A and B are shown apart, each in its own frame.
Chain A
Amino acid sequence: MSNNELTRRGLLRTGAVAGAGVALPTIFTASSAAAYTNEPTGGTVTLGFNVPQTGPYADEGNDELLAQQLAVEHLNGEGDGGCLNTFTSKALKGNGILGKKVTFVTGDTQTKSDAARASAKSMIEKDGAIMINGGSSSGVAVAVQGLCQDAGVIFMAGLTHANDTTGKDRKANGFRHFFNAYMSGAALAPVLAKEMGNDRRAYHLTADYNWGWTQEESIVASTEALGWETVNTVKTPLASTDFSSYIAPVLNSGADVLVLNHYGGNMVNSLTNAIQFGLLDKVANGKDFKIVVPLYSELMAAGAGENIKGVLGSMNYNWQLDNEGSRAFVKSFGEKYGKPPSNSAQTCYAQVLLYADACERAGTFNPCGVAEALEGFEFDGLGNGKTLYRAEDHQCFKDVLVVRGAQNPTNAYDTLEIVEITPVEQVMYPPNHPMFGGDEATLGECNPGA
């Protein structure tokens, strides 16, 4: 970048240099004159990886952590470089970020908003983390995003699928790489029409909390647009471990498709129960009964075992995706850890690289500069194909995968097969879409803290 105009980014950089000058360590400084929260002053920069390490999503969190560590290695020029070689932006040199070596701290979200905020705060307040990344639930993502906005650091939301994260709860300091419930609906609908026809009758079982509702709303809207009828939508308590009493009435309700708006352990159990009741062997309204699980993950597929055979769903990423970035990432991850990456792993990996790249391009760690560099950024080579970070709501737009439980998996890792790669145009929506807070939703002002 070689322009002499007084741009905002330029100003920020000058500010940063000035700030660093003032903040020179003295024996007895009583205040820090940093230009923004946790401005890195030494030779290192600290990233905070906040993932579930205890509770039902611990394995998901562990996968994210592995990917984040891999990303840090690649940023510091260790390992084979992974996606740094395929990334279309060439700002990253493998020498850390802006010449500073990347270090990281980890925390446990416990998949609880309170605990997640506590651990994010400790990373920001104690360890000087300048970016928070990870997580496996929308409640946690929204809570931590709000915290990062107040504290003045960047939040790269991990696995979060509810519309609200970049809908009514969108924040200027937060970015989401994952897709959302609306996109799942938009991507699944044409495939459902093709495979099951236009005159199906759907029965929804929905986890009774915010994410479940937004997903149900999205799927109902897009399937009804196809001509499907919604027979019933039933909310199931979050604490349920056994769904038999919700599954039992389904067959007799006149429905011929069951949609399970569940995630994680809930989904594993409800799908297992549905298979037990023999739903997939039945014929209703003269058609074969079908089950749809709108949001899939590899770990859920592993937990559900044989039961997912033939069941359709959607995903953010799958390691079988065949493009240059994906191949580089799978090779790098697979050689290090002996298994292919999950879609949450890919999300976190891509986010760490993207954040680093944005810092390089902005020339500063100032969250406002970084956010500006990420807004409207288009790139390729991180595994998802062509991708856009939309400026208006900080949602990422890319192709969405529709997948199906494989009939004859050859190993533990190809239990899901890609049915269709839905092009991004089909899942696009305006930033003021009613499901995303309408016209009232705003990002607010970017907050650099300090």
Chain B
Amino acid sequence: MAATVKVMRRPSEGSSSYLRATLKGMAITFKHMINPTKVTLEYPEERPEISPRWRGTHVMETHADGRPKCVACGLCPTVCPANCIRLVGGEDDMGNRYPIVYEIDEFRCIFCGMCQEVCPVEAIHVGVHFENSEYTRERFVYDLDRLMAQDHPSTLLWDPSDPVSE
């Protein structure tokens, strides 16, 4: 059984010029040049404003003397759903519990922020930061020194005026 074929006619007769449509389009372009309701950001000269609760790559907080606040309690690798934190505990020269190895694989990280939430000493934080580019994948495994050297602000996972939700 043959398929039914409907023959369409091209509406070509009488309107062979596209000039009208082109002018219409260009009118919009020129209108935007004069009065832009601007959507596009001219990155990197212009920076987007990101929320203080944005969860980006991690920051390790430090004490005033430059030591990391981490006490190697092991809660962040335990809670991490992506299993991206590697921690080996030990003791520093002052007899305090200290992370000998602390590595976060930012590629595996899903930026849920649970490490920050679970941290008993407020050492590890997710940060307000989005520009992460490297030449190799290995560079995305941040070690302790690199985490401490991050200078972007930490995320506010909670209301700063009511930190324990009382």
Q: Do A and B bind each other?
A: no
Q: Which residues of B are interface residues toward A (Cβ below 8 A)?
A: none
Q: Which residues of A are interface residues toward B (Cβ below 8 A)?
A: none
